[in-house]
Amino acid sequence: MPERTFPEARLTKAAALGNVGAFSELVRQYRAGVLRTAFGILGSAQEAEDVAQEVFIKAWNNLPGYRGRGSFASWLYRIAVNTSVDALRRHRDDIPLDDLQPASKEDLEESVLHRDVHERLTQAIRSLPPGARAALVLREYEQLSYREIADVLAIPIGTVMSRLHYARQALRKKLAPQE
Amino acid sequence: MSHPDPCQLECYLDDELSDPIRETVRRHVEQCPPCLERLEALRKVSLALHRTLPTEQMFLSEGEFWLHLARNLPAGRPRTWPLVPFLPPLLLAMAGTLIQAMILTTLLGFELAGLGLMPSLGPTVSSELSSLVSHRGLQQWLHASLGWSSEQVAQRTIHYWDELNWPNQNVVIFVTVLLTLAVFMSVIVTFYSFWAMCWSGSARPNRQKEVWDHGIRSYR
């Protein structure tokens, strides 16, 4: 029997009214995205997991105030980015540097070969200011458009472009000797 | 075409350019080795970043994540009443405005009276006071509660009223009008706040919680 899907607007409305089942469906849909975003900003799987839990608790508490202006995804990503940046500021020195892992076994082999590149990239990401890091993560990990990133970060599109440019230039410089 | 600027090249890579500009940039990059090199460098950064994408295995499974979350979800979600966060500044602003208006009116009453720019409103009130206190309902109330006749009250009030000089009479009239308006405004604001917190669309989650819970559960 095919799985029934409900319109997102109905799910958010039901969750806002206290329906835990509807909220669990929203969590199922957005868990991976929130985890990736938190991971990209924090660079630690454990931290990302904790932040993602915090994000969804905040979302649950604040859903009654969500009026459906803008997409739910943008609203949730905004909470994710803000919570991750707050966590980053709290635990700036506690995050292990080598927690960024490759995506698959093939990539693992490749990353062994390019361990130096990987470490320099990790360092470069961590040296980015939180705003630039958030823009880069939303673009590269979540594939959001510039307009969506602007909505999430509540900044003009021009600022999104300049943050991305700054972040990519910084990463490119770190990778340059390897090219 | 001249070389695209770095931001344009990044927009090209991110597929954020309009069709004609994208086509122009594409044609240029194909024929321009330096630009192609810049584009490849950007692609390398992007690819390197994708290698750092986290995998599912790095996190709790979907079920474990939800179980952990469900344990920590607050049982009673804090209810947010619309307008409540705005009430303290709203009331403060109203009180401030009222105080300012009273001070300004008092000063204005004195100044205009002193300059001879405002006629005295006192005699008008004196002439109306007798008819006001001779209102039947007021007469009955005064007699029942205080044992006074309306003539006594009128005489005493007019006596006190006439003892005031006319700029002060003006000020008393202005302040009384202002206070009446303030009471009227407060009644409107109270009704509006009550409506916003109980009947408006924003208050619906608080108002219809049980009904909605039931409705959604039935369709699931």
Q: What is the pLDDT of residues A134-155, one digit of tens each?
A: 999 999 999 999 999 999 998 9
Which residues make Cβ contacts (< 8 Å) with residue B106, sequence separation at least 6?
B171, B174, B175
Reported ipTM: 0.77
Contact A24 B66 (CB under 8 A): yes
Q: Are A157 and A138 in contact (CB under 8 A)?
A: no
Q: Are A164 and A135 in contact (CB under 8 A)?
A: yes
Number of H helices, E strands in chain B: 11, 0
**Residue B39 to residue B167: CA distance in whole angstroms:** 82
Interface test with B, best of A44, A168, A174, A175 (most B CBs within 10 A): A168
Least Cα separation, residue A154 to chain B (angstroms): 19
Residue of B nearest to A179 (CA): B41
Q: What is the pLDDT of residues A12-67, one digit of tens each?
A: 888 887 788 889 999 999 999 999 999 999 888 899 999 999 999 999 988 887 87
Residue of A nearest to B201 (CA): A67
What pLDDT, on a 0 to 100 scale, did the predictor assign at position B220? 33
With beta carbons under 8 A apart, name residues in chain A contacting B68. Answer: 53
Query: Is B37 touching A (CB cutoff 8 A)?
Result: no
A155 phi and psi angles, rounded to 5 deg: -135, 160
Contact B11 A111 (CB under 8 A): no
Interface test with B, best of A5, A10, A11, A19 (most B CBs within 10 A): A19
The residue count of chain A comes to 179
Quick one: how far is CA B85 from the chain centroid?
Answer: 9
**Token code pair at residue A147:** 């307009």
User: Is residue A7 packed enough to be buried (19+ CB in 10 Å), middle (13-18) or exposed (0-12)?
Assistant: exposed
Residue of B nearest to A176 (CA): B41
What pLDDT, on a 0 to 100 scale, did the predictor assign at position A29? 92
User: Which one, of A35, A156, A140, lies nearest residue A84 by Cα?
Assistant: A35
pTM value? 0.61
Query: At residue B133, what is the residue type?
Result: V
Query: Is B114 touching A (CB cutoff 8 A)?
Result: no
Interface test with A, best of B11, B18, B39, B53 (most A CBs within 10 A): B53
